[in-house]
């Protein structure tokens, strides 16, 4: 879901392990080539959605690999290290994402098949036919994904930092360049097919990584009872039930991420890409159980580290807690070393699988919704497909350069801060997708006004002081995210505005 | 015929076939029935159980090596997953039927 910006802190890998990682990465390029050979036609839909769509196995693993990223392993375990069992909320908000699909996936899938949608904005254009709304929604989605992609490029660099004997800055640079380069090559060759097929490998390795991680944690650090009792002694607040402000934070996270992540453009495009309703509903049914196999494991890792590695890491560095644990395991035996290599491959796969789908989604929206929508509506499909590939290249070059520059300048944010900022924006798309898809009398003007007002209101909170007596300061400290307040305003404007417009048009 | 049989077998447990609703628009055969208030009531109850708002602040009871509130919360999440999977597999709105491409 979110990329990780965390050091792995493992001991530098030997030639064998690096060769294994190299073969793993080259297999992605090979899959990209297979995707290119499977191409049916040189059209936008074929490149960005995979033509007639994908089957159950591929859809399930591409949904899984796209939704669960390096952050699920690194960021979630880091947060659980900081706050303890209270981060169990991540299991609930990851489940809430799948629950949210109930609200719009069936109807959106049907419309997508009927009208050959490619991007999320295609649905908005079909539903509202309002250029301002199309532009605003596209800009929100592209801005959110740029944030997302940047974080993942940073994660790629950080993941590689500890693996070689190079100095950290050089290793970071090479990590970003090589991994982003490989991703760009296979995506440019095979488009959606390459991304979805590589997700099968990446998702498979990710699932294996979680399993290995679960076994290793209990083997190396003892039973959960021992961990819980130790934590009760040294940091009881990480074991006790959350207090009222934390409970409000749970509810806010479930709303913010449950709704916001369901609206990720790449997630919506995977709904479009299902070959049939049967395949989509079965994939989503399996996805409903994934948080218990992934996010919950990450919480157990973080809590175990909090008990056994107390005080070793602070702030943003605590996202590296898994790396510290892996280093301990790596030092134990050759078998432990081999398992760490598998977990590392899982982390790389998790980061890349989310990054590639993000890149493809950004490229599709700029090509289809901005260039074709506003600049050259009659451009040929071949021209647009070719342009889409160039746009991917530009995104990779610019954002990779930015990631390297930010790393060298020493700017650090914890992963959860990055996560919240973009969800505050994405959440503002909810009325247009989840209410308007059912309520045919919802009007374009009020939806646009609501989306704009909700976005501005949510973003303004970043400048509201955290201390003081003002109303906005009180809201900021209430435990709910700014995006949730923005969404309430957004719904109010969209719904009441539509009622007023409808009433006036009757008279 | 087959569709009607399938629908009967997977009837929603809380849905009593009574009154006008059943005659005019059977609860679960209505398009986009995921908006049913009954479904979201079940989710509200499960969320009420899963979110640990009702536990005493100093509760240190444990079960299976975990804090008791964590076990209850995870069980609640498992129930949400199971219910959601059931809705997707058995209750997908009919007008989105199996339109294999």
Q: Quick check: B4 pLDDT over 60?
A: no
Distance from CA of A300 to the nearest CA of B (A): 10
- Average pLDDT value for residue range A170-182: 88
Q: What is the pLDDT of residues A324-341, one digit of tens each?
A: 777 777 777 777 788 888
Tell me whether residue A370 is exposed, middle or buried, using C-beta atoms within 10 angstroms of its C-beta: 0 to 12, 13 to 18, 19 or more.
middle
Of B53, B96, B98, the CB nearest to A109: B96
Provide the pLDDT for residue A106.
Answer: 92
How does DSSP classify residue A183?
A: H
Cα A149 to the chain's mean position, in Å?
9
Q: What is the DSSP string of A221-255?
A: H--HHHHHHHHHHH-GGGTSPP-HHHHHHHHHHHH
Distance from CA of A385 to the nearest CA of B (A): 24
Give the angle subtended at the CA of A25 by the CAs of A22 and A28, to the nearest 5°. Answer: 150
- Average pLDDT value for residue range B22-32: 43
Using CA coordinates, name the residue in chain B closest to A296: B74
Kindly calculate the radius of gyration of chain A based on its CA atoms and give it in whole angstroms: 22
Q: What is the pLDDT of residues A369-406, one digit of tens each?
A: 999 999 988 999 899 999 999 999 999 999 999 888 88
Tell me whether residue A501 is exposed, middle or buried, using C-beta atoms within 10 angstroms of its C-beta: 0 to 12, 13 to 18, 19 or more.
middle
Provide the pLDDT for residue A4.
Answer: 40
Chain A partners within 8 Å of B80 (Cβ): 92, 95, 99, 288
Residues B62, A225: C-beta atoms closer than 8 Å: yes
Which string of b and e fits A215-236 if b means at least 16 CB within 10 Å? ebbeeebeebeebbebbbeebe
User: What percent of chain A stands above pLDDT 70?
Assistant: 93
Residues B67, A284: C-beta atoms closer than 8 Å: no
- Average pLDDT value for residue range A58-83: 84
Q: Quick check: A33 pLDDT over 60?
A: yes
Better-scored residue on pLDDT, A374 or A171 = A374
> Using an 8 Å Cβ cutoff, are A122 and A115 in contact?
yes
Q: What pLDDT band is residue B25 in, cutting at 50, 70 and 90?
A: very low
Please tell me if residue A227 touches chain B, with a CB cutoff of 8 Å. yes
Chain B partners within 8 Å of A276 (Cβ): 98-101
Provide the pLDDT for residue B20.
Answer: 40
Please tell me if residue B39 touches chain A, with a CB cutoff of 8 Å. yes
Distance CA B62, CA B70 (A): 9
Residues B92, A281: C-beta atoms closer than 8 Å: yes
Of B34, B62, B81, the CB nearest to A288: B81
Distance from CA of B17 to the nearest CA of A (A): 23
Distance CA A128, CA B90 (A): 32
Provide the pLDDT for residue A499.
Answer: 94
In the predicted model, what is the mean pLDDT of chain A? Answer: 86
Provide the pLDDT for residue A316.
Answer: 53
Provide the pLDDT for residue B7.
Answer: 44
Chain B partners within 8 Å of A52 (Cβ): 101
User: What percent of chain B stands above pLDDT 70?
Assistant: 60
Q: What pLDDT band is residue A118 in, cutting at 50, 70 and 90?
A: very high
Smallest Cα–Cα separation from A142: which of A170, A121, A169, A157? A121
- Average pLDDT value for residue range A355-379: 92
Q: Quick check: A135 pLDDT over 90?
A: yes
Provide the pLDDT for residue B36.
Answer: 85
Q: Quick check: A321 pLDDT over 60?
A: yes
Provide the pLDDT for residue A417.
Answer: 58
Helix (H) or strand (E) holding A483: helix A482-506
Provide the pLDDT for residue B18.
Answer: 39
Provide the pLDDT for residue A53.
Answer: 82
Chain A partners within 8 Å of B81 (Cβ): 95, 98, 288-289, 291-292
Q: What is the pLDDT of residues A416-454, one digit of tens each?
A: 455 557 888 999 999 999 999 999 899 999 999 999 999
Range of lowest pLDDT (A10-24, A391-405, B63-77): A10-24
Using CA coordinates, name the residue in chain B closest to A280: B88
Q: Quick check: A292 pLDDT over 70?
A: yes
> Using an 8 Å Cβ cutoff, are A156 and A180 in contact?
yes
Helices (H), chain B: 2-9, 19-24, 37-50, 68-90
Chain B partners within 8 Å of A50 (Cβ): none
CA dihedral A174, A178, A180, A185 (to 10 degrees): 160
Please tell me if residue A239 touches chain B, with a CB cutoff of 8 Å. yes
Of B65, B77, B85, the CB nearest to A285: B85
Cα A428 to the chain's mean position, in Å?
17
Cα A204 to the chain's mean position, in Å?
18
Using CA coordinates, name the residue in chain A closest to B69: A241
Q: List the structure tokens of A153.
A: 């490029």
Of B66, B87, B88, the CB nearest to A224: B66
Provide the pLDDT for residue A478.
Answer: 77
Provide the pLDDT for residue B95.
Answer: 56
Distance CA A349, CA A206 (A): 7
Using CA coordinates, name the residue in chain B closest to A89: B51
Of B47, B57, B65, the CB nearest to A240: B57
Provide the pLDDT for residue B19.
Answer: 39
Best A245, A280, A285 member to test B by mutation, with max B CBs in 10 Å, is A285
A125, A262, A306 from A96: Cα distances, Å = 27, 9, 27
Residues A223, B70: C-beta atoms closer than 8 Å: no
Q: What is the pTM of this model?
A: 0.86
| Residue B25: Cβ within 10 Å count | 12
Q: Quick check: B29 pLDDT over 60?
A: no
Q: Quick check: A349 pLDDT over 70?
A: yes
Distance CA A371, CA A367 (A): 5
Provide the pLDDT for residue A418.
Answer: 55
Best A102, A221, A276 member to test B by mutation, with max B CBs in 10 Å, is A102
Please tell me if residue A235 touches chain B, with a CB cutoff of 8 Å. no
Could you give the maximum distance between any two Cα atoms of chain A, in Å?
80
Q: Quick check: A280 pLDDT over 90?
A: yes
The sign one gets for the Cα dihedral B44, B45, B50, B51 is: positive
Range of lowest pLDDT (A93-97, A378-382, B71-75, B91-95): B91-95
- Highest mean pLDDT, choosing among A257-261, A495-499, B1-5: A495-499
Provide the pLDDT for residue A124.
Answer: 95
Please tell me if residue A248 touches chain B, with a CB cutoff of 8 Å. no
Residues B64, A241: C-beta atoms closer than 8 Å: no
Residue A54 phi, psi dihedral angles, 5° rounding:
-115, 160
A 74-103 residues with CB < 8 A to B: 85, 88, 91-92, 95, 98-99, 102-103
Q: Quick check: A323 pLDDT over 80?
A: no
Range of lowest pLDDT (A215-229, A314-328, A348-362): A314-328
Distance from CA of A97 to the nearest CA of B (A): 11
Distance CA A362, CA A139 (A): 10
């Amino acid at each position: 879901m979110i990329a990780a910006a965390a050091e792995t802190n493992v001991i530098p890998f030997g030639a064998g392990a690096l060769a294994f990682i190299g073969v793993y990465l080259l297999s992605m390029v090979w899959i990209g080539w297979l995707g290119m050979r499977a191409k049916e036609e040189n059209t936008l839909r074929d490149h960005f959605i995979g033509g007639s769509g994908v089957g159950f196995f591929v859809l399930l693993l591409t949904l899984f690999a796209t939704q669960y990223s390096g952050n699920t392993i690194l960021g979630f375990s880091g947060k659980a290290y900081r706050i303890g069992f209270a981060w169990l909320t991540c299991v609930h908000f990851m489940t809430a994402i799948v629950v949210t699909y109930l609200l719009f996936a069936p109807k959106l899938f049907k419309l997508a098949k009927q009208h050959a949608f490619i991007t999320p904005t295609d649905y908005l254009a079909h539903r509202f036919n309002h250029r301002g709304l199309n532009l605003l929604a596209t800009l929100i989605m592209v801005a959110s994904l740029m944030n997302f992609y940047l974080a993942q490029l940073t994660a790629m660099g950080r993941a590689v930092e500890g693996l070689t004997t190079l100095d950290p800055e050089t290793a970071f640079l090479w990590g970003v360049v090589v991994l982003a380069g490989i991703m760009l090559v296979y995506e440019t060759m095979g488009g959606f097919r390459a991304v979805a097929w590589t997700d099968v490998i990446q998702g498979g390795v990710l699932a294996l990584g979680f399993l290995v991680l679960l076994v290793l944690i209990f083997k190396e650090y003892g039973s959960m009872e021992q961990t819980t009792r130790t934590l009760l002694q040294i940091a009881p607040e990480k074991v006790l039930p959350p207090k009222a402000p934390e409970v409000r934070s749970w509810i806010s996270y479930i709303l913010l991420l449950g709704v916001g992540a369901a609206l990720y453009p790449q997630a919506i495009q995977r709904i479009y890409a299902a070959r049939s309703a049967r395949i989509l509903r079965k994939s989503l049914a399996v996805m409903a159980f994934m948080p218990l196999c992934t996010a919950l494991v990450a919480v157990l890792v973080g809590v175990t580290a909090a008990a056994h590695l107390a005080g070793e890491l602070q702030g943003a560095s605590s996202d590296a807690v898994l790396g510290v644990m892996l280093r301990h395991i790596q030092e134990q035996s050759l078998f432990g070393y081999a398992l760490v290599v598998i977990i590392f491959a899982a982390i790389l796969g998790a980061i890349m699988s989310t990054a590639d789908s993000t890149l493809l989604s950004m490229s599709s929206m700029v090509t289809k919704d901005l260039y074709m929508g506003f600049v050259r509506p009659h451009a040929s499909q071949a021209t647009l497909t070719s342009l889409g590939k160039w746009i991917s290249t530009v995104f990779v070059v610019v954002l990779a350069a930015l990631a390297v520059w930010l790393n060298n300048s020493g700017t650090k944010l914890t992963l959860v801060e990055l996560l919240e900022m973009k969800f505050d924006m994405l959440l503002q798309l909810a009325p247009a997708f989840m209410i308007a898809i059912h309520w045919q009398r919802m009007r374009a003007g009020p939806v646009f006004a609501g989306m704009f007002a909700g976005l501005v209101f949510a973003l303004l909170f970043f400048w509201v002081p955290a201390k003081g007596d003002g109303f906005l300061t009180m809201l900021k400290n209430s435990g709910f995210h700014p995006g949730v307040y923005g969404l309430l305003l957004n719904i109010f404007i969209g719904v009441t505005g539509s009622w007023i417009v409808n009433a006036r048009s009757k008279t | 015929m087959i569709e009607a049989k399938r629908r009967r077998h997977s009837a929603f447990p809380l849905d009593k076939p009574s009154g006008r609703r059943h005659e005019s628009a059977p609860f679960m055969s209505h398009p986009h029935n995921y908006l049913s208030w009954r479904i979201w009531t079940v989710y509200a109850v499960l969320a009420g159980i899963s979110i640990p708002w009702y536990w005493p602040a100093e509760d240190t009871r444990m079960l299976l090596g975990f804090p008791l509130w964590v076990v209850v919360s995870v069980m609640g999440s498992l129930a949400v997953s199971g219910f959601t999977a059931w809705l997707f597999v058995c209750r997908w709105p009919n007008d989105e039927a199996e339109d294999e491409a």
